[in-house]
A and B are shown apart, each in its own frame.
Chain A
């Protein structure tokens, strides 16, 4: 990387952080069966218990027994697994894919067209597996012989008992559209079932966890039980719930104490007096928090990490996030700073360590989902915003968090900014510096638009929305500490819907017939057919997921998390029973709308004297072979992203219709589904299963990502026109959004470059755009990284709602990132 000099340098601020970061970078990925071993043991012993208490017992029994691991350099303790990069296989969620994997079968029919990374730690895994002590699992993890044996037993035990099996047993036999769902998976209309890792997209109430301590919450629960008056089954059920809660909180405290004991043990054996003292402090702290309210910032870091990690361990999480960290941690920072008991350099070191610790967490899902998520955990820390009174929310700690991300470049947590014009210049310029490192974050979110959305959706007071607006997962806003997770079925391939519309409901690749529609001859017929397929695919997908969620309630209800989501305790209801204040979060997501819009625009423009629908259909069925002239005409037709109403109007219409269709159905908790759009890495596998489209796209080519970014190469009027198009849709209707822009570092050079970037963001948000994120890299550098991944191990790029190590991405994702139009401002 010597040939490419970055404007902002990224160096961990201390040797300890450097040690932790390089340890992470050189570590392979492992499967750790310890948690699921104990979980399975407890499950076998608790048959017949109340389901809430049984779930609590299984998790508690397991977490109390986990081996505490404290590694060199660490100043706060807590590891999800025994490995630096370890994943827990949650057989209680889904176990068949694990057994299939053992049989070396393709875990999902879709694996054939999913592409996962091969570089970095994944390459290291392969190397070790070849030596024989470990086997390769799910194509990127190592598993020891002993763990494999345990995992196999657990997976077999959960046959018929896992969430997936319980759900399948119901919907596959009674849901009248079960066949449609199954065909959807085969054709690539839907993403594979993601039962193995369905949780996430929410933020715990860290404010309460820290300020009351878990002991304080246990006390509240005890009082609830003491004061309870049982008059009916519902009031009796609450007692089970509160008791279950106490069990998980006490287990969490026990788990922390195990770390305390481990630290004391290490301290006793430690020769280096400095490290000895650190370990003694960790030991003392782990016995104090998270049970009690932190006495200082260091306590608060330890307490936060335990609470955060405990929630992560309880469920198979993706997009589980720390939320407004700079707000709930600030009082502890301020207290120490005022007392002169901590230096910013110490805080920075802890924040940098937190980045490494959060990046160490891995997850395992079926192979095709690992590809879709590019292995990312989507932990989102959001900074800035406003306080409840409407004053700017950024503070000194916010700037330090940004600095920690500049210094210690890791993929997790991804940073976001709740943008408001009142944010301080120092904070905004630091955020711009972070963007300029090329790591892809922070992503920028328009708070004003989310407030509008949330007022329409939940009707909560504006002061509450300001204070608790957070981000759960890559680009999905949520209300911190009071929302159900955004648990949803997965993604719908809009490119595929377009193919169905074009071909009368038949998928050209597989020959499967979905709902029969008239083979269109006119633009209007095409448009109408598209709407039918869009509506049906959404409705069926949502209904299918409601079946799965009913199985979730029976098998995997989150008890620990319920303790830290308002107002579960007061209502005496778990998350799955509607205990949260906001239950409207579950959403249906989608990908590839821009290709549909561009294709519609082409058809609308070209149909007439010269060109017939049959000709267009023939051209795309032949992947444009022999249709060069027609393809050029298609490429010259109006496209989304050029501030041209011809295409933009189609987008607006489809977008509004999409939102309407999504909200027509109710979710499992009885709230209308909330529309959302994002893509993670779906646009690559979804593109692979789609033939050519009338917008000029070739068969198999990656679809357009996210909500509003133009398809690569079709934005010919510059970045301002792109943003003017993107600003046209009503972002307040939708939860989430995604707009990628790529810049050469040269376009953002110096403080003037930063100011240009900030003015671009400000203006886009004045048009009520919702989200924007930037890749600041050089495409030459990316090509070089593709050729020589070994030299670019730490190169981070923005993919969709998240950043990833470039060399660990699949080839098709790498190509897509290189292709995204490079803009100069």
Chain B
């Protein structure tokens, strides 16, 4: 689900950050035919006059309002597309229902992911209400930044929650994600008080944010305090980098850094020492 209150520097799904559908220009496919420039009725696509071999440039703010999408249909390479579309809860249910035979044998179900799904809590509520009689599992992946008042009423109808926990230090958190972490920690406490069994903590291990023994120890201690039993470590990768330029934005991670495997293993042991099961994914 599109839209996220955080703007994590390492985010590998930048198309999930804004709430609205937006234009993506796949530069790896684009062959610079410039058909989009003549097709656009709003002059939102232009060529860089100073550089003959440059990609077309888009005014993404204009594109957001566009409903004609002439540029997409004009491109011979199909290098343009809109990411995100509106779908009603009932249409989504229809699609999920078609897949139920597969869930029956695999134990699969629906996981809301994003972006931040709880930003669209009314949609999720409606979905959960309608899907309940079919008895399939429903889970959510959340960054923790949401309005607990609304989420509280559905918390016990969820089968699992993947809950992101980036770091315990609010200042670092703010620097890295654009927001302090108090709300996130409080929400987690409150959810854990309802049912700690359904919560799995996700820790993206990011250089200079939380890749130290002390940081990981703090996270694990907090989890243990709240009776959480499962945690997974997701090492930072830069697979999303290209997408930033496709969306006309800048990638915020200054340099490509890797988390050494030996560090990850050590972090895993630290977490396990708190009696929490830990996986590296």
Contacts and interface: CB of A to CB of B under 8 A. Distances in A.
B145 interface: no
A629 B35 CA distance: 10
Interface string B97-115: 0110110111100000000
A632 B74 contact: yes
A407 interface: no
A232 to B, nearest CB: 59
A632 B75 CA distance: 8
Contact of B98 (A632, A635, A724): A724
B76 interface: yes
A148 interface: no
A629 B68 CA distance: 13
A756 B108 CA distance: 9
Interface in B145-182: none
Contacts of B75: 628, 632
B57 interface: no
Contact of B72 (A632, A643, A756): A632
Contact of A631 (B76, B102, B105, B106): B76
A724 B78 CA distance: 27
Contact of B106 (A629, A635, A759): A759
A759 B102 CA distance: 7
A643 B98 CA distance: 9
A632 B73 contact: yes
Interface stretch (A365-373, A677-685, A761-769): A761-769
Interface in B60-109: 72-76, 78, 98-99, 101-102, 104-107
Contact of B102 (A632, A635, A636, A760): A760
Nearest to B74: A629
For B99, B102, B105, the residue with the greatest tally of chain A CB atoms inside 10 Å of its CB is: B102
A746 B2 CA distance: 27
Given A628-B75, A628-B76, A635-B78, A767 B101 contact: yes
A632 B79 CA distance: 11
A756 B103 CA distance: 10
A760 B74 CA distance: 38
Given A635-B78, A756-B106, A629 B101 contact: no
A631 B72 CA distance: 12
Contact of A762 (B35, B73, B105, B107): B105
Interface string A750-781: 00000110011011001100000000000000
Nearest to A632: B73
Nearest to B33: A628
Contacts of B106: 755-756, 759-760, 763
A763 B72 contact: no
Nearest to A626: B76
B73 A629 contact: yes
Contacts of A636: 73
For A628, A756, A760, the residue with the greatest tally of chain B CB atoms inside 10 Å of its CB is: A628
A755 B104 CA distance: 13
Nearest to A724: B98
Nearest to A628: B76
B104 A763 contact: yes
A721 B99 CA distance: 8
Q: Chain B: interface secondary structure?
A: helix
A767 to B, nearest CB: 7
Interface in A610-666: 628-629, 631-633, 635-636, 643
Nearest to B99: A720
A640 to B, nearest CB: 16
For B35, B74, B78, B107, the residue with the greatest tally of chain A CB atoms inside 10 Å of its CB is: B78
Contacts of A635: 78
B102 A763 contact: yes
A766 B78 contact: no
Contacts of B72: 632
A211 to B, nearest CB: 39
A720 B106 CA distance: 12
Contacts of A720: 98-99, 102
Contacts of B35: 628
Interface in B96-145: 98-99, 101-102, 104-107
Contacts of A766: 101, 105
Contacts of B104: 763
Nearest to B72: A632
Contacts of A762: 105
Contacts of A643: 98
A759 B107 CA distance: 9
Given A628-B35, A632-B72, A759 B105 contact: yes
Nearest to A755: B106
For A631, A755, A763, A767, the residue with the greatest tally of chain B CB atoms inside 10 Å of its CB is: A763
Interface in A660-706: none
Contacts of B73: 629, 632-633, 636
Nearest to A643: B98
A628 B106 CA distance: 42
A755 B35 CA distance: 48
Interface in B238-273: none
Contacts of B78: 632, 635
Given A628-B35, A756-B106, A763 B74 contact: no
Contacts of B101: 763, 766-767
Nearest to A718: B99
B252 to A, nearest CB: 28
Nearest to A713: B78
Interface string A781-795: 000000000000000
Given A643-B98, A720-B99, A724-B98, A628 B74 contact: yes
A755 B106 CA distance: 8
Contacts of A756: 106
Contacts of A763: 101-102, 104-106
A631 B35 CA distance: 14
A631 to B, nearest CB: 7
A724 B106 CA distance: 16
A762 B105 CA distance: 7
Contacts of B74: 628-629, 632
Nearest to B105: A759
A199 B49 CA distance: 68
A766 B102 CA distance: 10
Nearest to A633: B73
Which 6 A-B pairs give the minimum distances between C-beta atoms? A759-B105, A759-B106, A628-B76, A632-B73, A763-B102, A763-B105
22 contacts: A628-B35, A628-B74, A629-B73, A631-B76, A632-B73, A633-B73, A635-B78, A636-B73, A643-B98, A720-B102, A721-B98, A724-B98, A756-B106, A759-B102, A759-B105, A759-B106, A760-B102, A760-B105, A760-B106, A763-B105, A766-B101, A767-B101
Interface of A: 628-629, 631-633, 635-636, 643, 720-721, 723-724, 755-756, 759-760, 762-763, 766-767
Given A628-B74, A755-B106, A760-B105, 19 more contacts: A628-B35, A628-B75, A628-B76, A632-B76, A632-B78, A633-B73, A635-B78, A636-B73, A720-B98, A720-B99, A720-B102, A721-B98, A759-B102, A759-B106, A762-B105, A763-B102, A763-B104, A766-B101, A766-B105
